[in-house]
Amino acid sequence: MGKQSIWKRIKPANVMVAVLTVVAVAYLIVQCVNSMQSNIETTPAVYVTMDESISAEGWFVRDETVAEGTSSNSVKHIVSNGEKVQDAAALAIVYEDESIMEASRRMEEIDNELSLLNSAVQSVDNYTNDNTKLDQQITREMQQLAVRVDDGMLSDAYETATELRKLALRRNASSLDVASIKSQIVALENEKRQLTGQASGRSNTISAPASGYFSEVVDGYEEILTPEKVRTMQPETFKQLTEQKVTAPTGKLGKVVSGFTWDFATVLSEENAARLSVGQKVTLKFSQISANADAEVVAINSSKESGEALVVFQSQIMNGELVSIRQQKVDIVVATHSGLRVPVSAITMNDKGETGVLILTGNTARFKYIDEKNSYKGEQYYIVPKGTTYKYLLMNDEIVIHPSGSNNLKVISS
Q: What is the pLDDT of residue 236?
A: 97
Backbone angles phi and psi of 83, in degrees to 5: -85, 145
Angle (CA) 210-214-218 rounded to 5° is 100
C-alpha 390/C-alpha 412 separation (Å) is 13
For residues 228 and 322, membership in a common domain is answered with yes
End-to-end CA distance of the chain: 60
What is the value of pTM for the model shown?
Answer: 0.68
Using the 3D structure, point to which of 201, 233, 250 is the last residue of a domain.
201
- As for how many domains the chain has, the answer is 4
- CATH code assigned at 408: 2.40.420.20
Given a cut of 50, is residue 33 above it in pLDDT?
no
pLDDT digits 0-9 by tens, 252-286: 889 999 878 999 999 999 999 999 999 999 999 99
Give 50-62 as a DSSP string: EEEEEEEEEEEEE
Q: Is 85 within the bounds of a domain? A: no
Q: Is 77 within the bounds of a domain? A: no
Q: Is 119 within the bounds of a domain? A: yes
Helix (H) or strand (E) holding 335: strand 327-343
Range of the domain at 289: 54-65+217-337
Closest CA to 213 of 251, 260, 248: 260
Q: Are 40 and 409 in contact (CB under 8 A)?
A: yes
Q: What is the pLDDT of residue 75?
A: 87
Among 23-27, 212-216, 386-390, the range of highest mean pLDDT: 212-216
Q: Is 297 within the bounds of a domain? A: yes
pLDDT digits 0-9 by tens, 397-411: 999 998 876 566 667
The pLDDT mean for the chain works out to: 84
Please enumerate in sequence order all residues whose Cβ is within 8 A of that of 73, keeping only pairs 6 or more positions apart, or say none.
98
For residues 330 and 239, membership in a common domain is answered with yes
Q: What is the pLDDT of residue 138?
A: 78
Given a cut of 90, is residue 16 above it in pLDDT?
no
Q: Is 359 within the bounds of a domain? A: yes
Q: What is the pLDDT of residue 35?
A: 44
pLDDT digits 0-9 by tens, 294-346: 999 999 999 999 999 999 999 999 888 889 999 999 999 999 999 999 999 99
Measuring CA to CA, how many Å separate 341 from each of 358, 384, 386? 14, 7, 10
Give the distance from CA 87 to its chain's centroid: 30
Q: Is 250 within the bounds of a domain? A: yes
For residues 280 and 314, membership in a common domain is answered with yes
- CATH code assigned at 304: 2.40.30.170
Given a cut of 60, is residue 5 above it in pLDDT?
no
For residues 137 and 237, membership in a common domain is answered with no
Q: Is 209 within the bounds of a domain? A: no
Q: Is 259 within the bounds of a domain? A: yes
Report the percent of the chain where pLDDT is more than 90.
47
